[in-house]
């Protein structure tokens, strides 16, 4: 098992980082409340699942993540060139986060779950669109469930006249 890395940091950096919220941020809370009001039931930060999804719709196996742009590498190929302070540290840290997200998505998919990622800004700018995306995925799962449970009757189509 790989152990977490220990990074050198200044007291100022430690103080600043202690204020970073990892769970239940503004965007995550807004999305969770909007989904609840839309009738979607879920678990928050379900630790039984890889990556501890921000919102886990267990009935339909949807693992929803609200990713911060900086921490999860939004537009990373362009943004990493703009890093100035502590460049090597941040590039390694964010690239580790990106790789971990990919590993967790693969593990979720292997378990039959669908990982869904929203950028934090996306949720804050278009909450109804994000809710619609989740509702569409739920509808897709409902159709898949219905089709997989449907069996064709033994003599052709139901209600078909014989002769």
Mean pLDDT value across residues 67-83: 83
Write the pLDDT tens digit of every residue in 113-137: 999 999 999 999 999 999 999 999 9
Q: Which residues contact 60 (CB under 8 A, 6 or more apart)?
A: 137, 138, 141, 142
Indicate the helix (H) or strand (E) that contains 89.
Answer: helix 87-110
CA angle, 22 then 102 then 112, to 5°: 100
pLDDT for 115: 98
Question: Which CATH class, in words, describes the domain spanning 22-144?
Answer: alpha beta
Predicted confidence band of residue 32 (pLDDT cuts 50, 70, 90): very high
CA distance linking residue 101 with residue 52, whole number of Å: 11
pLDDT for 153: 52
Query: Nearest-CA neighbor of 64 among 49, 75, 80, 81?
Result: 49
Using a cut of 0.85, tell me whether the model's pTM lies above it: no
Write the pLDDT tens digit of every residue in 79-90: 777 777 787 888
């Amino acid at each position: 098992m790989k152990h977490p890395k220990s990074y050198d940091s200044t007291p100022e950096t430690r103080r600043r980082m202690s204020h970073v919220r990892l769970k239940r941020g503004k965007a995550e809370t807004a999305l969770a409340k909007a989904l609840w009001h839309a009738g979607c039931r879920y678990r928050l930060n379900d630790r039984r699942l890889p990556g501890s999804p921000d919102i886990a719709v267990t009935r339909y196996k949807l693992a929803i993540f609200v990713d911060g742009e900086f921490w999860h590498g939004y537009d990373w190929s362009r943004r990493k060139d703009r890093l100035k302070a502590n460049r090597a540290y941040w590039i390694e840290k964010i690239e580790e986060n990106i790789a971990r997200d990919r590993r967790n998505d693969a593990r979720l998919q292997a378990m039959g779950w669908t990982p869904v990622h929203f950028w934090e800004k996306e949720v804050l700018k278009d909450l109804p669109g994000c809710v619609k995306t989740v509702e569409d995925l739920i509808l897709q799962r409902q159709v898949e469930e219905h089709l997989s449970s449907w069996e064709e009757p033994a003599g052709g189509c139901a209600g078909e006249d014989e002769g």
